[in-house]
Each structure stands twice: as structure tokens, then as C-alpha cells.
A = this chain, B = another copy of it.
């Protein structure tokens, strides 16, 4: 599968720790920012999801740290949505610095009703937008 969405973050000073590197929990926040930007580019944004009465809960997070990152470095987060079925969807990520792998990650999510927090099917429009974006990525790679 190809990567079609890229988002940049710059490591904040507040995101470093006393080892002199970006703290490993910071990556989890960056992945979320990358997902938000992915949704903005392809599926009307997270607010569109919220306005259709849905919140996306994170049900699983996996990060493999390959190299350390440091203050002020610019990292590129490649993001793809790999699986949308029923109330669940999954993202995969590659965090790079100058084309070199810094970390790999994936996250799983469940769409829930905003009020009851009960699982609810992802809207068809979301599913179709993601399918279109990912098909485009494959054809252009």
C-alpha cells in the first residue's frame, strides 16, 4: 500500500525530556494531529464527523521507536487509513526525518455515538472518502 498523506510537526521544547530527546508519549499526540489533518484533507474534517453525531475513540495504539528525535527537528508523518468496517477503522503511520525512518505506528478506532458513547457505524460518506483517497494513493505510487 502507498502513502498519500504527509503532515509535518516540529518537535517542541516542551515535548523533550531529561534524556535530551522527544518524549515517547509526544509521538502519540503527533499521530492524533496527523489523523486530524488526514480527515481534513479527505473526509470533511473531524468536525464533520462530530456534527454527524459521532466521536472516534482510540481503542489501540502501537508505536515502534526506531531513532530518537530532538528539539526543533522537523518530522514528517505519513498517514493512511487502512481499514474501515462497521464501527471500526485503523490508521498506519511512518514518522520520518529527511526520508529516514524515526518511528512506525498504527492505531485503531471505534466510532461511537457522541451522547451514549455506544459503537455506531461509520457514515458511508466517511468510508467512501477514505476509499477514494487511498485508491488515489495506490494509483499514483
Residues in chain A within 8 A of chain B (CB atoms): 12-14, 16-21, 23-25, 28-29, 32-33, 36, 45-47, 55, 57-65, 68, 70-72, 117
Asked whether, in the complex, the Cβ of B60 is within 8 Å of the Cβ of A63, the reply is yes
Given the complex of chains A and B, what is the CA–CA distance between A70 and B86 in angstroms?
26
Asked whether, in the complex, the Cβ of B65 is within 8 Å of the Cβ of A57, the reply is yes
- 9 A-B pairs with least C-beta separation: A16-B18, A25-B28, A24-B58, A14-B29, A62-B62, A18-B20, A61-B63, A60-B64, A16-B17
Given the complex of chains A and B, what is the CA–CA distance between A16 and B16 in angstroms?
7
Chain B contacts for A64, CB-based, 8 A: 59-60
Asked whether, in the complex, the Cβ of B17 is within 8 Å of the Cβ of A117, the reply is no
Output the least CB separation between A19 and chain B (Å).
6
Give 19 A-B pairs besides A12-B32, A14-B25 with Cβ atoms closer than 8 angstroms. Answer: A12-B29, A14-B17, A17-B17, A17-B18, A18-B21, A18-B70, A19-B55, A24-B28, A24-B58, A25-B28, A25-B32, A28-B61, A36-B72, A59-B65, A60-B64, A61-B61, A61-B62, A61-B63, A61-B65
